Amino acid sequence: MILISSFIVLMYTVFFALSLYPVKQQVSAVSGKCIVMAFSMVTATLIGLLLAFSMQGQLAVSTILSIVISSIFAYVIGRPFGLMGIVEALMSGFMGGMMGAMLGEMIPVNQMTIMMAAMDLFYFFTAAVIITMIRREVSAQKKGLFSTRRLPFALLTTLSICIIGGAALFDSVKAAGSEAEENVQTHDHHNH
């Protein structure tokens, strides 16, 4: 589940960057700052959560790594809007990375799968809202390359949701199976 979520974050960030660069001149500065802040924050929070789940019990290390990795993603996200966009993305990424790492450390192990699935859905929703916002801004001025990316975005989102749902279901079934096996072993142990 963690690997799938990591891959999805990477895919969406690349998709976002490739889609935004050709039309960056058509997006207003105010919208650009809002887009950069929202996408950096949700990306960094998810990265922090992924690292904290992978490194349970090591909050300091997962927080530092989360901030560093989030900064790289933030740079890519903010670059189309110049230095102001990069600074906005870096600060949002810094805050999101810390919050994600703390949240991941506080979530009990048996609730990690549901938290990952929920966070991935929040990520997809935020990405969809941002993409819609950019499309409106671009189409208000003129049709650009961005308008031709509607189908790939819809397919990417649908495929991602199906994969996350399948992985969450698989993790839940696996956890229920191991819990049942543990109960049987405990019951057998008490009978001897």
Summarize pLDDT for 113-171 with one digit per residue, the tens: 888 888 888 888 888 788 788 877 776 555 544 444 555 666 666 766 676 667 666 66
Q: Is the pLDDT of residue 40 over 80?
A: yes
pLDDT at 144: 46
Amino acid, res. 66: S
Q: Is the pLDDT of residue 68 over 50?
A: yes
| Angle made by CA atoms 90, 78, 116, in degrees to the nearest 5 | 70
Phi-psi region of 82 (alpha: psi -120 to 50; beta: other; left: phi over 0): left
Distance of CA 110 to the CA centre of its chain: 21
Q: Tell me how far apart the alpha carbons of residues 40 and 89 are, in angstroms, rounded to a whole number.
A: 5
pLDDT at 145: 45
Q: Tell me the Cα Rg of the chain.
A: 19
172-184 mean pLDDT: 64
pLDDT at 65: 94
Mean pLDDT of all residues in the chain?
79
